[in-house]
Structure 1
Amino acid sequence: MKFTRSKALKGELTVPGDKSISHRAVMFGALAEGLTEVEGFLPGADCLSTIDCFRRMGIAIEEKESTRILIQGKGLHGLKKPSQVLDTGNSGTTTRLISGILSGQSFETTLTGDTSIQKRPMGRIIEPLSLMGASIESLNGNGCAPLRILGHPLHGIHYTTKVASAQVKSAILLAGLYGDSPTSVTEPALSRNHTELMLNSFGAKVQTEGTTAAIEPRPHLIGQKILVPGDISSAAYFLAAGCITPGSEILIRNVGINPTRDGILRVCQMMKADVRILPIDSQTDEPMADLLVKASDLQGCILEGELIPALIDEIPVIAVMACFAKGTTVIRDAAELKVKESNRIDVMVKNLSAMGAHITATEDGMIIEGGYPLHGAVIDSHLDHRIAMSFAVAGLNADRETKILGAECVNISYPAFYEDLKYLQQS
């Protein structure tokens, strides 16, 4: 894809359904008894990988429309041994969460994914799941997929994680469904809590106190109707584009603003962005709002500590925003960026530097001196959807042409991203 400097972005749009919630709706619907109906499902490649895995284990999943699916659950012990390897594609969420579920089954499974997944660290789930009694082997001996998982009777544990990760926490809690006693997880900071909220809505007993979540074993899960809000991680690109593109005004409808995910909104406030939060009645456990963003004079800020888990996926586009802010923006405590779909610290620093930004990598983040104009460059997305979308936003505010290699990777989370961006340019 190629981008040049844009005129003002104007209009309103609805971003795709939340990726994290879409994954969980499929998984928990499969483990519940009876019908689960999901509205607002994200039909991106990652979530379709989750559907494929559960279909291979005997779960009937019907796609009524692109964003509405029906799942005929078979209960906690209704999954069947798949006849072939389960392929999670590019999805870390699928890989880690399904590992927790497979640990409690009565059959053996091999789990793999694409070349990116086969480099991402799985030791962080192998250790706690093994402590619960699971048999998990990294077939290449490097702590990464492919994984061979032989289900066993599991024991409840208390586990303290080294990083604040919803994927790690969720894998342990899902294994805890099959335990012989309660299971609890304590994190260094609170990660997104979609698992806890949705499991409770299905009938599980999950309690949270501070950064500790605890689950009672062997609940009776019942199929539900799930409304998936718009993904705030997808909305972040339009918040950024609206802030930095002169004359812009964008209304983003029906966005999930769960307080464990709203870090981008707190950053907008810290950077003095003109963003209004217009709450709406979601009638679900997940709060929702319309977001109105206008072109803004941004200020640099410091991002660190417990704020980071609430915006880890949005840091690439926040780095783009920082290039257009007055003063210096410092991002700390974000070493987790190194083990995402790409090493996002290195990739952002290399590509933004190629566009003329004054940006320096640190061990756990980056330092950005704002106010230096960007110019077009050839951008290697490393097939990372969040990198591609971030540089599309940058390219709309740079001199000369920006070319993004591997731009099709946005299909992982936002298949219509470029069309929605073009629509705002023409409105």
Structure 2
Amino acid sequence: MDIKILKAKENIHKEIKGLPGDKSIAHRSLIIGCIPKGTYNIYNFPKGDDCIVTLNNMEKLGVKVSYEDEYNLKVISPGIEGFKKDAGILNCDNSGTTVRLLLGLLCAANIRAILIGDESLSKRPMERILEPLQLMGGTFQCSDGKLPINTTKLSNLESIEYSMTVSSAQVKSALLIAAIVAKRNIVVKETLSTRDHTEIMMKYLGADIKCEEKSITLEKSNLCSKDMFIPGDISSAAFIIGLCLLSKESSITLKDVLLNPSRRKFIDILKAMGADINIYITETRSGELVGDIKAKSSNLKGIEIESESTPSIIDEIPLLSVLAAFSEGTTIIKSVDELKVKESNRVDGIINNLKRCGIQAHYDNGDLFIKGGNSYINKNISIESQKDHRIAMAFAVLSIRNLKNTNINHWEYTNISFPNSIKFFSEFLNMVES
């Protein structure tokens, strides 16, 4: 499905509620939440494609899931001891989080399965998760470190201390999941801090886990079943914020959004660029900070974003690149190579699509450079999304500064992370399916 975006709306002042639940927490609410035996509820579970993939695979392992209403789930887990020991083929489709977190669970529980994915996921590197799990004693069969991956061999996991070689919340989470399932101790040391939803959820469910100075220590412990509330996805909120910042004389308030410090770094960066944006923490739910975000139309300036920030803004870099194009001066985003192994090569996607718009951008020695100073675009543009949800949505944000039409192909892939995205984007854009 392609989307044609016509002339943007102006003077928008909205309070926006009901953002889909955060994708990262949703995956973990099923995978980690189902480790203990018990019944619990998940509130505001998003119906994005990736999260449904995780739900379907947990059902194949023996978990019973039912919808109490449109976005609230009732989950009955037999516990790790009651999981099916021969799960057959588990299709992870496009979801890297699903496959990597499941690898930790499957090898620790000695569940026989074959993990497969779609064309995109089958090209993504899995060595980064297989190698540390193998150091724990995990055994796998695969070719060239990519899917499919077979977990049919017996694994005998041991306690380890592991220093991360790649800044990846997925790798860290898989190791912690493997340790809690196998009832082993583990110490994971990070060079750069990554999102900490796994640590927060495990602590909320009763794990003996300590986080100090980029070091996570998990002692042998048991989890218990508890209800979980999933706040609005802050990475989805980022696109709505971007639309507001680039729009004319507009303001928004986004309600009940996740405000985890490891996920809101992009807001600090936007402030450094001159954005009129503020957060208001209202409560803690299921261990996570929740609150509101207020933003207004702003004049932005280019900045240099250091390597230390990149892991915390990895999902927002396509959006930040678009915003940089309409900022004063040049923006440099350092150490972006991880973007090359996402759902697509996002470095290429950002640069090539900016060039289609007449905006200068290039990659050099691991860093991304975007030349700003652009006020408006005045030409019909066709954006190649590469079937990548974040590229598609980032360039939908760009369209608010195009005086003519913007066409974005494969918009349906936005359902991976932002179900019903048209509803929210249409607050600012006139969008027509084509």
State TM-score, norm by structure 2: 0.94
The answer to which of 50-59 and 208-217 deviates more is 208-217
Instruction: Say which SS state the counterpart of residue 329 (structure 1) adopts.
Output: strand
Partner of 1:391: 395
Instruction: Say which SS state the counterpart of residue 177 (structure 1) adopts.
Output: helix
Does the alignment pair 1:51 with 2:55?
Answer: yes
Task: Give unpaired runs (5+ residues) of structure 2.
Answer: none
Partner of 2:384: 380
Classify 1:83/1:278 alpha carbon distance in 2 versus 1 (closer, same or farther; 3 Å). Answer: closer
Find 2:282's aligned residue among 280, 283, 308: 280
Q: Aligned partners of 2:259 and 2:266: how far apart in 1?
A: 10
Once the two structures are superposed, the pairs formed by residues 23-422 of structure 1 within 5 Å of their partners are: 23-138=27-142, 141-149=143-151, 150-179=153-182, 181-217=184-220, 219-372=221-374, 373-374=376-377, 375-422=379-426
Determine if contact 2:44/2:72 at 8 Å carries over to the other structure.
yes
AA at the equivalent of 1:44: G
Q: Aligned partners of 1:99 and 1:321: how far apart in 2?
A: 36
Q: Aligned partners of 1:129 and 1:147: how far apart in 2?
A: 13
Aligned residue pairs, count: 423
Q: Deviations over 1:205-236 (max 9, x none)?
A: 1111111112123x322111111111110000
Task: State the Cα distance separating 1:151 from its structure 2 match.
Answer: 4.2
Q: Deviations over 1:173-192 (max 9, x none)?
A: 11112446411111111100
Q: Aligned partners of 1:82 and 1:423: how far apart in 2?
A: 47
Q: Aligned partners of 2:164 and 2:405: how far apart in 1?
A: 44
Instruction: Say which SS state the counterpart of residue 423 (structure 1) adopts.
Output: coil
Task: State the Cα distance separating 1:104 from its structure 2 match.
Answer: 1.1
Task: State the Cα distance separating 1:153 from its structure 2 match.
Answer: 2.2
Task: State the Cα distance separating 1:196 from its structure 2 match.
Answer: 0.3
AA at the equivalent of 1:19: K
Instruction: Say which SS state the counterpart of residue 231 (structure 2) adopts.
Output: coil
Task: State the Cα distance separating 1:399 from its structure 2 match.
Answer: 2.7
Q: Aligned partners of 1:359 and 1:243: how far apart in 2?
A: 21
Task: State the Cα distance separating 1:10 from its structure 2 match.
Answer: 3.1
Q: Aligned partners of 2:394 and 2:41: how far apart in 1?
A: 33
Q: Deviations over 1:303-342 (max 9, x none)?
A: 1122111111000000010011111110001211111101
Classify 1:255/1:180 alpha carbon distance in 2 versus 1 (closer, same or farther; 3 Å). Answer: closer
Q: Aligned partners of 1:246 and 1:364: how far apart in 2?
A: 34
Instruction: Say which SS state the counterpart of residue 281 (structure 1) adopts.
Output: strand
Task: State the Cα distance separating 1:363 from its structure 2 match.
Answer: 3.3
The answer to which of 341-350 and 363-372 deviates more is 363-372
AA at the equivalent of 1:120: R
Q: Aligned partners of 1:105 and 1:255: how far apart in 2?
A: 34
Instruction: Say which SS state the counterpart of residue 104 (structure 2) adopts.
Output: helix
Q: Aligned partners of 1:283 and 1:137: how far apart in 2?
A: 40
Determine if contact 1:154/1:180 at 8 Å carries over to the other structure.
no
Q: Deviations over 1:25-66 (max 9, x none)?
A: 011221122112111111110000001101001111112223
Does the alignment pair 1:10 with 2:13?
Answer: yes
AA at the equivalent of 2:191: P
Task: State the Cα distance separating 1:12 from its structure 2 match.
Answer: 2.1
Determine if contact 2:7/2:429 at 8 Å carries over to the other structure.
no
Q: Aligned partners of 1:385 and 1:404: how far apart in 2?
A: 11
AA at the equivalent of 1:249: S
Task: State the Cα distance separating 1:135 from its structure 2 match.
Answer: 0.8
AA at the equivalent of 1:272: G
Q: Aligned partners of 1:30 and 1:336: how far apart in 2?
A: 30
Task: State the Cα distance separating 1:414 from its structure 2 match.
Answer: 0.9
Q: What is the alpha-carbon root mean square deviation over aligned residues?
A: 1.5
Paired-residue identity, % = 35
The answer to which of 86-95 and 285-294 deviates more is 285-294
The answer to which of 149-158 and 93-102 deviates more is 149-158
Classify 1:242/1:174 alpha carbon distance in 2 versus 1 (closer, same or farther; 3 Å). Answer: same
Q: Deviations over 1:360-399 (max 9, x none)?
A: 1223231111112334421111111101111111112113
Classify 1:57/1:377 alpha carbon distance in 2 versus 1 (closer, same or farther; 3 Å). Answer: same
AA at the equivalent of 2:393: M
Determine if contact 1:345/1:365 at 8 Å carries over to the other structure.
no
Determine if contact 1:153/1:178 at 8 Å carries over to the other structure.
no
